[in-house]
Amino acid sequence: MNVPIRRIAVVAMIMFLALLINVTQVAVFQAPGLNAHPMNRRARDAEFAQDRGPIFAGGQPIAESVQVDSRFAYQRTYPHGALYAPVTGYFSYDHASVGLEAAYTEELAGTASSLFVRRMVDMVTGRKPQGASVETTIVPSAQQLAAEQLGNRKGAVVALDADTGAVLAMVTHPSYDPNLIAGHDIAVADENYRQLADDPARPMANRAAREIYPPGSVFKLVTAAAALENGMEPGTEVDSPETMTLPNTNTQLGNSTNCGGTRVSIDKALQTSCNTAFANIGLELGDDALREQAAKFGVGSEPLPDLDAVASRFPDEVDDAQLAMSAIGQYEVATSPLQMAMIAAGIANDGVVMEPYVVNAVRAPNLQPLYTHQPREMPRAMTTQNARALQDMMVNVVEVGTGTNAQLSGVRVGGKTGTAQSAPERPPYAWFVAFGELDGRTVAVAVFIEEADIPRNDIAGGRLAAPIARALIQELLL
């Protein structure tokens, strides 16, 4: 009987070998996928209980982990609640995370490959692993001021350092308190999340970077830039009739302000925010020129990936009537406040848009920098000469045009007002885009107010939004 016994011994050996190989392959090939599975409570709980590194703005924490006596050891807290929500985002158990909490989750949790050596040291020494800290470019006083200025009005404010692209302030209203969603009582956090998600005012929407709106007259900056880049001059005169019939339609386009004549210079047209003049410029340049100019300012690409900002839009195909409307920022043109701030910054920075960024540096727990941001230029949008000419035109808007509410003594301020309609029955959007320059420092600001209860003209938009921009420029430069 020994022969069959030897044979079944081989069978038994194969069975054990199969077990050993299978267990090994689970560990080697399947473990990463299983650990990353969204339903894996082990991974999720461990991640949630991590001592995550803080997020700083101007040296003060805007998100930090505090040791608590709960089953998840560390509670993520946001000391300023809703104020920094569009930047920090939230870190939750059931609803993942957004904002910097999502973009830098590996660094904050200490699981990033850049922290590998430290993790090994922690493992050997038995020290609890700690995450890296993230330093933002936000200036707390400006952030605070922008929120106060915006007050109870739905909208957003973005301020950029035009020389570097650093985001100095990013405010959206209504906002939400991330602490509500980050709580350790998961049922309560879930309920809070549901309420916020169902709120018709959409408090979790980041209106500054993740929503796009018709820009209206502020888009005339792009049309003006295209005009200058295509050989026109600030003094070039264009037809600016009281009303005009859009090509091949019966639609009448009128002006909401007095253009100052039926034929005005581009400079004058910008000051008065003359619709018919810019519609004519658009018709003369063609849609390709406008689209190209918009793209050079960043329209169509996604800026600021750290905050998952959305791309602004210029329509792909337009007929002449649509082109005329697009030239004044209507029809299907839609931009985010961040994009508008980038356009102002590009003009103010002599034609070069700096890539916007919100994270200055990532530091290991021992403060050693793991990453430091180096300002990056986007491809030149305008020649220096044209950019300076457009700056002057914007300064004129503030000096003698629709944007006089933004005047600030001692600072060179240029701006552009805008009101835009989304639907006839809804209140218009009010915009103000500006730059301020003092002693070689330049900041750009975009203020956007949704559902502004104002008359549908630019002066009204300027009256509402320009003071916010002025206050912010003052705070940042003076």
Partner 1 sequence: MPDSVVVYRKRRNIELLMLLLAAGVGLACYTALHLNMSGALPANLPLVAAIWLILPVVLNIMVRWWLPYADPVFLPVVIALHGFGLVMIHRIDLINDPVTHDAERQLLWAVLGIMLFIMVLVLLRDHRPLQGFTYSLFLAGMGLMLLPLLPFIGTEIYGARIWISVGPFSFQPAEVAKVVLTLAFASYLVEKRDVLALAGKRILGIDLPRARDLGPILLMWAASLIVLVFQKDLGTSLLFFGLFVVMLYVSTERPGWAILGALLFIGGALAVYFMAEAGVDQFSHITRRFSSWLDPFSDFDGNRQVINAQFGLAWGGLLGTGLGMGRPGLTTFAKSDMIAAAIGEELGIVGLLAVIVLYGVIVARGLRTALAAKDDFGKLLAAGLSFTFALQVFIIIGGVTRLLPLTGLTTPFMSQGGSSLIANWVIIALLMVVSHHARKPVAVATSADLAGDTTQIVSRTSS
Residues near partner 1 (CB under 8 A): 1-6, 8-9, 11-13, 15-16, 18-20, 22-24, 26-27, 30-35, 37, 39-43, 45
What φ, ψ does residue 223 adopt, rounded to 5°? -65, -40
CB of 22 vs partner 1, minimal distance in Å: 4
Calculate the CA 268 to chain-centre distance. 31
Single-letter code of the amino acid located at 166: A
Rounded to whole angstroms, the Cα distance separating 60 from 62 reads: 6
Which are the catalytic amino acids? 217
Q: Which residue number, 41 or 441, has a Cβ lying nearer to partner 1?
A: 41
CB of 186 vs partner 1, minimal distance in Å: 15
CB of 33 vs partner 1, minimal distance in Å: 8
Rounded to whole angstroms, the Cα distance separating 255 from 275 reads: 5
CB of 144 vs partner 1, minimal distance in Å: 42
What φ, ψ does residue 301 adopt, rounded to 5°? -115, 160
Rounded to whole angstroms, the Cα distance separating 48 from 201 reads: 29
391: its two tokens: 């700056």
Calculate the CA 469 to chain-centre distance. 17
CB of 122 vs partner 1, minimal distance in Å: 15
Rounded to whole angstroms, the Cα distance separating 342 from 299 reads: 10
